[in-house]
Amino acid sequence: MKKQLLSLFAIAAITTTSWADITASQAKDYMSASGADSMLEMLQTQIGAGIKQKASMSPTAMPEDLLEGMTDIMSNKKNIALFSSDIINLDEDDYKEIMSFYKSAIGKKVADQTRNIDMAKIQKELPEFMKKKIAPERQALIEKLMEVSMSEEMQIEMMETTMEITVDAMPVEMQDKFRVEMDKQLTAMLPMMKEQLKITSVYTYKDYSDKEVKELIKHYELPSAKAEVQSIMNGSSKYMKEVMTQVMKLLTSKIK
Protein backbone atom coordinates (compact mmCIF):
# COMPACT_ATOMS: atom_id res chain seq x y z
CA MET A 1 0.00 0.00 0.00
CA LYS A 2 2.82 2.40 0.92
CA LYS A 3 4.58 1.57 -2.33
CA GLN A 4 1.39 2.33 -4.27
CA LEU A 5 1.01 5.66 -2.50
CA LEU A 6 4.64 6.56 -3.15
CA SER A 7 4.16 5.68 -6.81
CA LEU A 8 1.09 7.91 -7.02
CA PHE A 9 2.96 10.79 -5.35
CA ALA A 10 5.85 10.31 -7.77
CA ILE A 11 3.52 10.42 -10.78
CA ALA A 12 1.79 13.51 -9.40
CA ALA A 13 5.12 15.25 -8.82
CA ILE A 14 6.37 14.46 -12.33
CA THR A 15 3.10 15.61 -13.89
CA THR A 16 3.10 18.87 -11.93
CA THR A 17 6.70 19.62 -12.90
CA SER A 18 6.09 18.81 -16.56
CA TRP A 19 3.09 21.12 -16.92
CA ALA A 20 4.22 24.02 -14.73
CA ASP A 21 4.10 27.34 -16.55
CA ILE A 22 7.39 29.15 -17.01
CA THR A 23 8.20 32.30 -15.04
CA ALA A 24 8.16 35.90 -16.27
CA SER A 25 11.96 35.87 -16.01
CA GLN A 26 12.17 32.80 -18.25
CA ALA A 27 9.82 34.44 -20.75
CA LYS A 28 12.14 37.47 -20.80
CA ASP A 29 15.12 35.18 -21.46
CA TYR A 30 13.19 33.59 -24.32
CA MET A 31 12.36 36.99 -25.84
CA SER A 32 16.05 37.90 -25.81
CA ALA A 33 17.42 34.55 -27.02
CA SER A 34 14.93 34.16 -29.87
CA GLY A 35 15.00 37.75 -31.11
CA ALA A 36 11.28 38.05 -30.33
CA ASP A 37 12.02 41.31 -28.47
CA SER A 38 13.28 42.75 -31.77
CA MET A 39 10.14 41.40 -33.48
CA LEU A 40 8.06 43.34 -30.96
CA GLU A 41 10.04 46.52 -31.66
CA MET A 42 9.47 46.03 -35.40
CA LEU A 43 5.74 45.56 -34.78
CA GLN A 44 5.67 48.82 -32.82
CA THR A 45 7.51 50.59 -35.63
CA GLN A 46 5.09 49.24 -38.25
CA ILE A 47 2.03 50.31 -36.26
CA GLY A 48 3.55 53.74 -35.62
CA ALA A 49 4.47 54.17 -39.29
CA GLY A 50 0.94 53.20 -40.34
CA ILE A 51 -0.60 55.76 -37.98
CA LYS A 52 1.75 58.51 -39.16
CA GLN A 53 1.07 57.65 -42.80
CA LYS A 54 -2.68 57.99 -42.28
CA ALA A 55 -2.10 61.21 -40.36
CA SER A 56 -0.05 62.64 -43.24
CA MET A 57 -2.99 62.07 -45.60
CA SER A 58 -5.21 64.25 -43.44
CA PRO A 59 -5.59 67.91 -44.43
CA THR A 60 -5.09 68.83 -40.79
CA ALA A 61 -1.75 68.09 -39.14
CA MET A 62 -1.92 65.71 -36.20
CA PRO A 63 -0.95 67.50 -32.96
CA GLU A 64 2.43 66.50 -31.54
CA ASP A 65 0.95 65.58 -28.14
CA LEU A 66 -1.41 63.16 -29.89
CA LEU A 67 1.47 61.40 -31.64
CA GLU A 68 3.32 61.22 -28.33
CA GLY A 69 0.23 59.74 -26.69
CA MET A 70 0.09 57.02 -29.34
CA THR A 71 3.79 56.25 -28.86
CA ASP A 72 3.20 55.93 -25.12
CA ILE A 73 0.39 53.45 -25.77
CA MET A 74 2.60 51.29 -27.98
CA SER A 75 5.41 51.23 -25.41
CA ASN A 76 3.15 50.82 -22.36
CA LYS A 77 4.48 47.97 -20.20
CA LYS A 78 1.08 46.31 -19.78
CA ASN A 79 0.51 46.35 -23.53
CA ILE A 80 4.01 45.02 -24.24
CA ALA A 81 3.41 42.22 -21.72
CA LEU A 82 0.53 41.00 -23.92
CA PHE A 83 3.05 40.08 -26.62
CA SER A 84 4.64 37.44 -24.42
CA SER A 85 1.49 36.56 -22.44
CA ASP A 86 1.06 33.21 -24.19
CA ILE A 87 4.78 32.40 -24.00
CA ILE A 88 4.43 32.39 -20.21
CA ASN A 89 1.89 29.57 -20.59
CA LEU A 90 4.48 27.24 -22.11
CA ASP A 91 5.37 24.36 -19.85
CA GLU A 92 8.93 23.76 -18.59
CA ASP A 93 9.66 20.89 -20.99
CA ASP A 94 8.67 22.91 -24.06
CA TYR A 95 10.61 25.91 -22.76
CA LYS A 96 13.79 23.88 -22.28
CA GLU A 97 13.51 22.37 -25.75
CA ILE A 98 12.93 25.76 -27.35
CA MET A 99 15.82 27.42 -25.47
CA SER A 100 18.08 24.50 -26.42
CA PHE A 101 17.28 25.23 -30.06
CA TYR A 102 18.25 28.91 -29.72
CA LYS A 103 21.57 27.87 -28.17
CA SER A 104 22.36 25.73 -31.23
CA ALA A 105 24.17 27.11 -34.28
CA ILE A 106 21.06 27.06 -36.47
CA GLY A 107 18.92 28.57 -33.69
CA LYS A 108 21.38 31.43 -33.19
CA LYS A 109 21.35 32.05 -36.94
CA VAL A 110 17.55 32.30 -36.95
CA ALA A 111 17.55 34.65 -33.92
CA ASP A 112 20.26 36.89 -35.42
CA GLN A 113 18.29 37.12 -38.64
CA THR A 114 15.19 38.16 -36.70
CA ARG A 115 17.17 40.84 -34.84
CA ASN A 116 18.82 42.24 -37.95
CA ILE A 117 15.92 42.16 -40.39
CA ASP A 118 16.11 45.13 -42.75
CA MET A 119 12.79 45.75 -44.54
CA ALA A 120 14.24 48.50 -46.75
CA LYS A 121 16.98 46.14 -47.96
CA ILE A 122 14.48 43.36 -48.61
CA GLN A 123 12.22 45.65 -50.65
CA LYS A 124 15.24 46.80 -52.64
CA GLU A 125 16.70 43.36 -53.36
CA LEU A 126 13.55 41.30 -53.80
CA PRO A 127 12.58 42.43 -57.37
CA GLU A 128 16.01 41.40 -58.70
CA PHE A 129 16.00 38.18 -56.68
CA MET A 130 12.63 37.22 -58.17
CA LYS A 131 14.26 37.02 -61.62
CA LYS A 132 16.48 34.15 -60.49
CA LYS A 133 15.49 30.59 -61.33
CA ILE A 134 14.97 28.48 -58.23
CA ALA A 135 15.55 24.73 -58.43
CA PRO A 136 12.28 22.79 -57.89
CA GLU A 137 13.91 20.78 -55.08
CA ARG A 138 14.90 23.96 -53.26
CA GLN A 139 11.44 25.47 -53.74
CA ALA A 140 9.81 22.32 -52.37
CA LEU A 141 12.14 22.39 -49.35
CA ILE A 142 11.28 26.02 -48.54
CA GLU A 143 7.55 25.35 -48.98
CA LYS A 144 7.82 22.45 -46.54
CA LEU A 145 9.52 24.79 -44.05
CA MET A 146 6.75 27.36 -44.54
CA GLU A 147 4.17 24.67 -43.84
CA VAL A 148 5.68 23.35 -40.62
CA SER A 149 6.62 26.81 -39.29
CA MET A 150 3.10 28.09 -40.01
CA SER A 151 4.48 31.10 -41.92
CA GLU A 152 1.40 31.39 -44.09
CA GLU A 153 -0.98 31.12 -41.13
CA MET A 154 0.96 33.83 -39.30
CA GLN A 155 0.70 36.27 -42.21
CA ILE A 156 -3.02 35.61 -42.65
CA GLU A 157 -3.56 35.99 -38.89
CA MET A 158 -1.82 39.39 -38.91
CA MET A 159 -3.86 40.57 -41.88
CA GLU A 160 -7.14 39.37 -40.36
CA THR A 161 -6.27 41.08 -37.06
CA THR A 162 -5.54 44.34 -38.87
CA MET A 163 -8.86 44.15 -40.72
CA GLU A 164 -10.73 43.27 -37.53
CA ILE A 165 -9.23 46.29 -35.75
CA THR A 166 -10.17 48.53 -38.69
CA VAL A 167 -13.78 47.33 -38.65
CA ASP A 168 -14.07 47.67 -34.85
CA ALA A 169 -12.95 51.30 -35.12
CA MET A 170 -15.93 52.13 -37.34
CA PRO A 171 -19.38 53.23 -36.18
CA VAL A 172 -21.40 50.17 -35.06
CA GLU A 173 -24.05 50.62 -37.74
CA MET A 174 -21.39 50.42 -40.47
CA GLN A 175 -19.42 47.43 -39.15
CA ASP A 176 -21.41 44.56 -40.68
CA LYS A 177 -21.27 46.08 -44.15
CA PHE A 178 -17.53 46.76 -43.97
CA ARG A 179 -16.83 43.32 -42.47
CA VAL A 180 -18.45 41.65 -45.47
CA GLU A 181 -16.53 43.90 -47.85
CA MET A 182 -13.21 43.25 -46.12
CA ASP A 183 -13.79 39.50 -46.13
CA LYS A 184 -14.28 39.72 -49.89
CA GLN A 185 -11.06 41.72 -50.24
CA LEU A 186 -9.12 39.23 -48.13
CA THR A 187 -10.43 36.28 -50.16
CA ALA A 188 -9.43 38.04 -53.39
CA MET A 189 -5.98 38.93 -52.03
CA LEU A 190 -5.10 35.51 -50.60
CA PRO A 191 -3.83 33.77 -53.79
CA MET A 192 -1.53 36.69 -54.65
CA MET A 193 -0.40 37.01 -51.03
CA LYS A 194 0.43 33.31 -50.79
CA GLU A 195 2.45 33.45 -54.00
CA GLN A 196 4.32 36.53 -52.80
CA LEU A 197 5.03 34.81 -49.49
CA LYS A 198 6.57 31.83 -51.29
CA ILE A 199 8.98 34.12 -53.14
CA THR A 200 9.79 36.11 -50.02
CA SER A 201 10.46 32.90 -48.08
CA VAL A 202 12.94 31.67 -50.69
CA TYR A 203 14.69 35.04 -50.38
CA THR A 204 14.58 34.93 -46.57
CA TYR A 205 16.43 31.60 -46.49
CA LYS A 206 18.80 32.32 -49.39
CA ASP A 207 21.81 32.16 -47.04
CA TYR A 208 20.74 28.81 -45.55
CA SER A 209 22.08 25.55 -46.99
CA ASP A 210 19.68 22.71 -47.80
CA LYS A 211 21.04 20.94 -44.72
CA GLU A 212 20.18 23.93 -42.52
CA VAL A 213 16.68 24.19 -43.98
CA LYS A 214 16.15 20.50 -43.22
CA GLU A 215 17.32 21.15 -39.64
CA LEU A 216 14.72 23.90 -39.34
CA ILE A 217 11.99 21.66 -40.76
CA LYS A 218 12.86 19.01 -38.17
CA HIS A 219 12.75 21.63 -35.41
CA TYR A 220 9.42 23.17 -36.42
CA GLU A 221 7.82 19.73 -36.58
CA LEU A 222 8.33 19.45 -32.79
CA PRO A 223 5.23 20.13 -30.63
CA SER A 224 7.29 22.62 -28.57
CA ALA A 225 8.16 24.68 -31.66
CA LYS A 226 4.53 24.66 -32.80
CA ALA A 227 3.50 25.84 -29.32
CA GLU A 228 6.10 28.63 -29.55
CA VAL A 229 4.88 29.85 -32.96
CA GLN A 230 1.24 29.74 -31.86
CA SER A 231 2.11 31.69 -28.72
CA ILE A 232 3.82 34.42 -30.73
CA MET A 233 0.86 34.59 -33.12
CA ASN A 234 -1.58 34.94 -30.22
CA GLY A 235 0.58 37.49 -28.42
CA SER A 236 1.02 39.63 -31.53
CA SER A 237 -2.74 39.72 -32.11
CA LYS A 238 -3.47 40.60 -28.46
CA TYR A 239 -0.90 43.40 -28.54
CA MET A 240 -2.16 44.86 -31.82
CA LYS A 241 -5.81 44.74 -30.75
CA GLU A 242 -5.19 46.39 -27.38
CA VAL A 243 -2.91 49.10 -28.80
CA MET A 244 -5.29 50.03 -31.60
CA THR A 245 -8.30 50.01 -29.23
CA GLN A 246 -6.51 52.46 -26.93
CA VAL A 247 -5.34 54.58 -29.88
CA MET A 248 -8.90 54.87 -31.18
CA LYS A 249 -10.10 55.91 -27.70
CA LEU A 250 -7.39 58.56 -27.58
CA LEU A 251 -8.33 59.89 -31.00
CA THR A 252 -12.02 59.99 -30.07
CA SER A 253 -11.32 61.88 -26.84
CA LYS A 254 -9.20 64.45 -28.69
CA ILE A 255 -11.77 64.93 -31.44
CA LYS A 256 -14.49 65.56 -28.84
Between 246 and 219, residue with greater pLDDT: 219
> pLDDT for 112-163, tens place per residue?
999 988 878 888 888 888 888 889 999 999 999 999 998 877 777 777 777 7
Torsion angle (degrees, nearest 10) of CA 199, 202, 205, 208: -170
Query: pLDDT tens, 44-102?
Result: 887 777 766 666 666 666 677 777 888 888 888 898 888 888 888 888 999 999 999 99
| Distance separating alpha carbons of residues 117 and 13, to the nearest angstrom | 43
Least confident of 32-46, 64-78, 166-180, 230-244: 166-180
Q: Amino acid identity of 256?
A: K
- For residues 140 and 97, what is the distance between their CA atoms, to the nearest angstrom? 27
Report the percent of the chain where pLDDT is more than 70. 86
Residues 213-221 have a mean pLDDT of: 96
Instruction: Compute the distance between CA of residue 252 and CA of residue 246 in angstroms, rounded to an integer.
Output: 10
Give the CA count within 13 Å in the CB-facing half-sphere of 76: 16
